[in-house]
Amino acid sequence: MRVCTVLLWSAVCLAAQPRPVVLRAARLFDSKAGRLASPGLLVVADGKILGVGPEASIPPGAETVDLGDATLLPGFIDAHTHLSSEYIEDWRQGFLDNLRKTVAEQALDATENLRNTLMAGFTTCRDLGGADFIDVGLRNAVRDGKIVGPRMLVATHAIGATGGHCDSGGVRFGLMKETGIEQGVANGPDAVRNAVRFNVKYGADVIKTCATGGVLSLTDDVDTPQLTQAELDALVDEAHALRRKTAAHAHGATGAKRAIRAGIDSIEHGTFLDDEALEMMRARGTYYIPTLMAPWWLGQQLEKGVYMPPEIAAKVRAAVAAIDATFRKALAQGIRIGLGTDAGVYPHGRNAGEFVLMVKLGMPPIEALKAGTSVDAELLGVADRLGSLEKGKIADVVAVPGDPTVDIAQTGKVLLVMKEGVVYKRP
């Protein structure tokens, strides 16, 4: 087994016997059946799970890690992150940093975001939008073992309309180069298809679009539709033809319904979804990623008196006032809800707070744990190898103290993190 000690920007993997490892704990979470098994036991070798449960065969010479009164779970998955972005309390300083920092400096800063995310137990992330292909570079560096972090499925630049949430704005005309497909801006079905092809050409694993306005953008209302039905039809059709899944940033109901009709795979945020939109999602099997952490965190900052531009502060208040009721209605209607946090809107490494917020709003703890494991794995198209602790799957494992089905906050107290059989954190 290799044990990786994380030191600032890098990981030093301490040489150790490349032998099988047995993880023991009081219980194990079966994310497919939605239940706890006791006692919990996993046998791991060569990055894969060799056996599960007390009947599993233990190879000679295996190392045993006994975690005691703890629960073994699949590595957590966050289906909505922005790992190359970071929350800065001073809004004006954050705006300035985005203009002044070189791409290389932004990428180096992001390695700390990746480290914090992995140490929180999130071994896989869907990264839904970044600039300058930093996300592609981070994904490749993690894959190749050059930096420590969760495996990443990346979107490159999200695709949207001129002046919309996916377009950078808020500065005077002529100060910056006008945006085009290189920055994810496209108008008309043909241009949208071209933007999808451009993103795939340069490394996108998933296609993300902005179907409505956003909370943190300066030039739009939060709930207005920003792409036509024909544009969204073209985007989803082209992405699916290229075997890429799709995700739609959609706060407002009208834009969300256009994306759902187009066959979008997931609706992100969904703050102001109406009953018709929710019924459409239920009928079509569209996943819902509510990103509860983002409005919760921003609302907390407003209460502290942290400065935000008045137009953004007003949108934050509207989102905070609406999201809880929307989530509860989606839960009651049986919509497939996954876990995504919008990490980068809040400080990285606090992703497990989403479990707590979901349970607080009425989701049973077992279902919340499934949302951040098996449900997300299905959404991301990786359920054949991730999202559950089963023989033959990749050995992504976390352990938390006690029983998270009794106290979901235990998900934020991770004891052990194993990714592909490598231990990055242990008691």
Annotated domain spans of the chain: 3-75+388-425, 76-380
Residue 187 has φ and ψ, to the nearest 5°, of -130, 125
Q: What is the pLDDT of residue 7?
A: 41
Q: What is the pLDDT of residue 95?
A: 80
Taking only the tens place, the pLDDT of each residue in 273-320 is: 999 999 999 999 999 999 999 999 999 999 999 999 999 999 999 999
Beta bridge partners of residue 29, listed in sequence order: 36
Taking only the tens place, the pLDDT of each residue in 224-257 is: 999 999 999 999 999 999 999 999 999 999 999 9
Taking only the tens place, the pLDDT of each residue in 371-404 is: 999 999 999 999 999 999 999 999 999 999 999 9
Query: How far separated are the first and last CA of the chain, in Å rounded?
Result: 16
Q: Which amino acid is at 5?
A: T
pTM of the model: 0.94
CATH number, domain 76-380:
3.20.20.140
Q: What percent of the chain has pLDDT above 90?
A: 85
Q: What is the pLDDT of residue 257?
A: 98
Residue 307 has φ and ψ, to the nearest 5°, of -70, 135
Average pLDDT over residues 258-278: 98
With beta carbons less than 8 A apart as the criterion, state whether 59 and 419 touch.
no
Residue linked to tokens 């190879």: 59
Compute the distance between CA of residue 345 and CA of residue 330 in angstroms, rounded to an integer.
23
Q: Residue 9: which pLDDT band, with cuts at 50, 70 and 90? A: very low
Burial class of residue 384 in the structure, from the number of CB atoms within 10 Å of its CB (0-12 exposed, 13-18 middle, 19+ buried): exposed
Chain mean position to CA 353: 13
Q: Residue 173: which pLDDT band, with cuts at 50, 70 and 90? A: confident
Burial class of residue 105 in the structure, from the number of CB atoms within 10 Å of its CB (0-12 exposed, 13-18 middle, 19+ buried): exposed
Q: What is the pLDDT of residue 314?
A: 95
Q: What is the pLDDT of residue 218?
A: 87
Query: Could you tell me the fold of the domain covering 3-75+388-425?
Result: Urease, subunit C; domain 1 (2.30.40)
pLDDT at 119 over 90: yes
CA distances, 275 to each of 37, 253, 375 (Å): 38, 9, 23
Average pLDDT over residues 350-366: 98
Is beta strand 416-419 parallel, antiparallel or unpaired with respect to 422-425? antiparallel
Closest CA to 81 of 131, 153, 141, 6: 153
Q: What is the pLDDT of residue 396?
A: 98
Compute the distance between CA of residue 250 and CA of residue 80 in angstroms, rounded to an integer.
13
pLDDT at 11 over 60: no
Burial class of residue 425 in the structure, from the number of CB atoms within 10 Å of its CB (0-12 exposed, 13-18 middle, 19+ buried): buried
Residue 212 has φ and ψ, to the nearest 5°, of -140, 175
Which pair of structure tokens corresponds to residue 175? 């100060």
Q: What is the pLDDT of residue 423?
A: 96
With beta carbons less than 8 A apart as the criterion, state whether 74 and 389 touch.
yes
- Which three-class secondary structure state does DSSP give residue 95? helix
